Structure formats: structure tokens, C-alpha cells
Amino acid sequence: MSNQQNKQHAGQQLRAVSYARISLDRREGAGVERQQADTRKLADLHDLDVVAELVENNVSAWSGKKRPEYARLLDMIRAGQVDRVLVWHTDRLHRNVGELVDYLDLTRSHGVKTLAKQGNGYDPEAADGKFLATVLGAVAEQESDHKSERVRRAIRQSRERGEVQRTRYRTFGYEHDGETIVETEAQFLRDAARRVLDGDTLRRICREGQTAGVTTTTGGTMTTTALRRLLLNPRIAGLSSVAVAGHDRPREVIGVGQWEPIYSPETHEQLVAALTNPNRATNREGTAPRHLLTGIATCVCGGTVCASTAPANRQGVRHPIYRCRTKRDNFTPGPHVSRRIADLDGYVKAYVLDMLARMDLSDYLTSTTDDGGKLDRLLTERARLETVLDDLEARYLTLRTDRERAQWDRLNRATLDALDETTRAIDDAAGDTSAVAQLVGVTDIAEWWEGAELDDRRGVVAELVTVRLLPVPRGGRGFDPEYVDIRPRRAD
Ligand SMILES: [Zn+2]
């Protein structure tokens, strides 16, 4: 099937056909002459014998149906007259995903490679999931502009009817079909919901889940962020919803789903109320720190601070304070410091949030893990795969024939596999070493902060900054940032 038609035996050049078309896209349009000049350079570089130069000259051929030169190209491949296809960019070749899949099938079965001047070509021998996802991305981008509005409407209508959602990631608790319940996961969710409503912490639930071997659907660690998002997802309660602009906003419920719920809509409502309340009271473990900066902020003497209560002031009020642990022991001579907890927490929070807002998380994590850019590449790859999945999800509702659906299934599967693999690799590279890693993908960091467990906030603060309290001169009134020495752990 594969290479018998190729002329790769001794002394014989491989035969190439170049294909160019007029670009209708003014953003990047390379003229036909430029495309041809580039493909000729490619031919020289690879020592290819150019047997034909095909040019799709008719503009309406692109927006309309017929592409005679493209049809000719496919005929030549079928007839075994071609070993390599040369293009300026592979986006010249396909108008939609169906064409792309057909092209890949055909070139693969004839052992034909596609070489591109811009971006990547197609190597059929490397045509695994990641490869399909990569090439799909380019085509998806072309199509998405004019289709997105229609597609959004279609999604909304489908959700209003409560249709089973069987795209994108498998939702924890359900199989890939979107309706079969995974009983072990469902039980974990029911327990988690009950415990959250009883005031237990997400962190403790996750930790116990980790011990029991619970993972996310991509095999990653069940983090508090992931669990919180799950418990806020109306889908678990059998409700159909759409995302609301703003990544971390609660979804809008717009219908009753046709799948079986894992717990009741009432439970869902209570969970939303509990988890979106920043002052949620939880039963914390006795020994765990109960303040943002205990054990993190330091005194001028070098010791860390603990939480305490100030002596009554003139109004008889005793404020909670941080104070140097060594103060009362009188072990270390010198001035020891204290500061009101509310004042210092507020100042440090503002400083850290501002820092996070300015930070490039990918850069930061990449340099932290010092792995020669591997993590950076993985993060970029994941962002790209997620874009592809978004597009696939939108596209699903526009499929008409069984063949299109079969193609879609294949691409969706391949992309999901690639995403799983990438996510696992990211977890391996960054997950355990950095508290800041949990912020990847979070768009509203202030909102994350409000919803996060204390331990997670403490982890982020301790990783990013040092906080040293300086003695306040006599007569100082109120909180003065001047006497807090806060600085990034790493200078940029
Ligand atoms: Zn001290």
C-alpha cells in the first residue's frame, strides 16, 4: 500500500507537484508568484524534480465549490505520479476539516509527504494524534471566523433542549458518552458535596481522595481548584448550562439535561452558595495555620511570626496581631515586631495579586523548573490543543452525514488523547514543585484568591515573596507599608 509507487531508488529524483492558490485573506496573503518562488526553493532544497506547478487562479473557486487544480492534484496522487506535494502553507490546501481528513487519508495511503515553506508539512509516517491535532488547528482557525456565531446559537439551542453533551473532555463522574455514570467517581462527588455542605475543606477532601487513588479524568492530581470547579458544574446535577463570558464565572443554567444526575439540583444550589461565599466557615484541622502569614513573614531578628492578640487599646479592643515568636522568650536580644493581622494580610494580598497580574506564568514556571524550555513548550501545546477542542465542540453540531460524524469522532479522540498526554507531562514537569502552577489557566486571579483554600494562598505567597517586618518608630500611627519589607524572591 505505501511506498511502492515512490521512486526512491538509486539515482532517481523524487517527483514533486507544487500547489498555489490566491489568498482571500488580506492578513497574510502571499501572492501566487511569491508562493511559487518559495515552493521552488523547497524543491531545490530537497533535490526534487518538479513535474507540475498547479495554480488555482479563479477567486470564486475558493469561496465557491469547484477547485479544478486541487482535483487534479488529488488525481495525480491517486495515479501514483507524485512523491511530494509542495505548498507555501498547508492552509492553501483545505477549506474544511472534511477535505483535510480526505487529503491525509489519500497521501498516507500513497506514501506522499507534503512540504510547506511556512509552518509544518504533513508526514504520513508521523500521523499520530498529536499530528492530526496540529494540522486541524490551522484549518479550524480558517473556518472559525465566519462560523462561530451560527455555531454559538446552535450550541445554545442544543443546551436548551438538554441534549447530552458528548464533546470536549470527559466530565468527571460520566463516561465519554456524557450519560453513563462512573459509579466510583459519582460516589466521590456525592461524598464531597455532603462534606462541603457540612463545612469540610476542599483541601482535606482532595487529600483523602488522592490517598484513595482518585484522579482527574486526564489522570492528573485532583486539586482543590479542579474539585471546586466540578462541584460548581450544573451538569453533575443533571442541569444543562452554557459558559458565561469570563473564564471562572459560574455557568448559566438554561435547561434540564436528558442525562441522569449524580446529585440533586437542590444540592447543586447549596454548593454554589457555599463555594462562592468568600467567608465560608470550615472546620479546619487544629494544628494547621489559620492565617496567611504565620511562619512565612519574618521579624528583623530572623525568626518567623505567629498569631497572637494585642493588649487592649484605649477603647478596650484587642486586635489580632502577628508577632515575633521569640519575643516573649526574650531569647534573642533586640527589637521584635508585631503588626495587625488584617492590615498586613491586606497589604501582602494586594502586593501578590498585583505581582501575579503582571507575571507571565509560563515564563515563570519554565524558569522555575529549569528544564530547558520543555514546560514552556508543553504549556503552549496545551493552549493550542484546547483551542482545537473548542472548535471541535462547536463543529459537532454542524455535522450532517455519518461520514462527517465518524471523521469528527476520530479527530476528537485523537485530540483528547494528545491533551491527556500533554496534561500528564505538565503535571510531571511542574505540578508538585510549584504552588503557583495551580494558577495556570486561571483568568481571574483575584477571584481565584477569594475562592482558594488558605493553604493554597499561603503556598503562593511563600513561593513568590519574602515578607520582613521592620520596627515602627515610636509614635507611629496606623499601618504604614514603609515598615514592611516585601520583595519578590526572584528578581526579573
Ligand atoms: Zn524577632
In the reported structure, the alpha carbon of residue 480 is separated from the centroid of ligand 1 by a whole-number distance in angstroms of 19
Q: What is the rounded distance in angstroms from the CA atom of residue 294 to the CA atom of residue 292? A: 6
Please name the fold of domain 3-127.
Rossmann fold (3.40.50)
| Strand residues in 404-479 grouped as ranges (E) | 465-469
What is the pTM assigned to this prediction?
0.42
Q: Select, from the ranges 15-29, 137-151, 203-217, 338-352, the one with the highest average predicted confidence (pLDDT).
A: 338-352
How far does residue 188's CA lie from ligand 1's centre (Å)?
A: 46
Cα(337) to centroid(ligand 1), Å: 6
Separation of CA 336 and ligand 1 centre (Å) = 4
Rounded to the nearest whole angstrom, what is the distance from the C-alpha of residue 358 to the centroid of ligand 1?
32
Dmax over CA atoms of the chain, in Å, equals 99
Going from the Cα of 226 to the center of ligand 1, the distance in angstroms, rounded, reads: 39
CA of 16 to the centre of ligand 1 (A): 77
Rounded Cα–Cα distance for residues 202 and 280 (Å): 11
Q: What backbone phi and psi angles, to 5 degrees, belong to 135? A: -70, -30
Q: What phi, psi does 324 have (nearest 5°)?
A: -60, 135
Residues 6+ positions from 324 with CB-CB distance below 8 Å: 299, 301, 303, 304, 305, 336, 337, 338, 469
Q: How far is the CA of 461 from the centre of ligand 1 (A)?
A: 21
* Dist. CA 345 → ligand 1 center (Å): 19
C-alpha–C-alpha distance, residues 101 and 82, integer Å: 19
- Which position has the higher pLDDT, 386 or 23? 386
Q: How confident is the model at residue 177 (pLDDT cuts 50, 70, 90)?
A: confident
Q: What is the pLDDT of residues 247-285, one digit of tens each?
A: 456 778 888 999 999 999 999 999 988 887 655 555 444
Rounded to an integer, the average pLDDT of 295-308 is 85
d(CA 334, ligand 1 centre) in Å:
7
Q: How far apart are CA 460 and CA 412, in angstroms?
A: 35
Residues within 5 A (CB) of ion ligand 1: 299, 301, 303, 324, 336
**Cα(244) to centroid of ligand 1, in Å?**
49
- According to DSSP, residue 232 is labeled T
158-162 contact pairs (CB < 8 A, 24+):
158/397, 159/240, 159/241, 159/242, 159/254, 159/255, 160/240, 160/254, 160/255, 161/240, 161/255, 162/240, 162/255, 162/256, 162/257, 162/258
Q: Are the C-beta atoms of 19 and 92 separated by less than 8 Å? A: yes
Distance (angstroms) between ligand 1 centre and the Cα of 460 equals 24
Which residues of the chain does CATH 3.90.1750.20 include? 183-275
Cα separation, 376 vs 422, in Å, equals 12
Cα–ligand 1 centroid distance for 481 (angstroms): 18
| Range among 54-68, 102-116, 395-409 rated most confident | 102-116
Ligand 1: centre distance to CA 483 (Å): 14
pLDDT at 242: 77
Domain 183-275 belongs to what topology?
A: Hect, E3 ligase catalytic domain fold (3.90.1750)
Could you give the angle at which helices 129-160 and 402-426 cross, rounded to 10 degrees? 110
Cα–ligand 1 centroid distance for 237 (angstroms): 52
Query: Amino acid letter at 301?
Result: C
CA of 323 to the centre of ligand 1 (A): 8
**pLDDT at residue 373 greater than cutoff 70:** no
**Which whole number is the average pLDDT over 129-151?**
56
Where in the chain do CATH 3.40.50.1390 domains reside?
A: 3-127
**CA of 335 relative to ligand 1 center, distance in Å:** 7
Instruction: Work out whether strand 14-21 and strand 84-87 pair parallel, antiparallel, or are unpaired.
Output: parallel
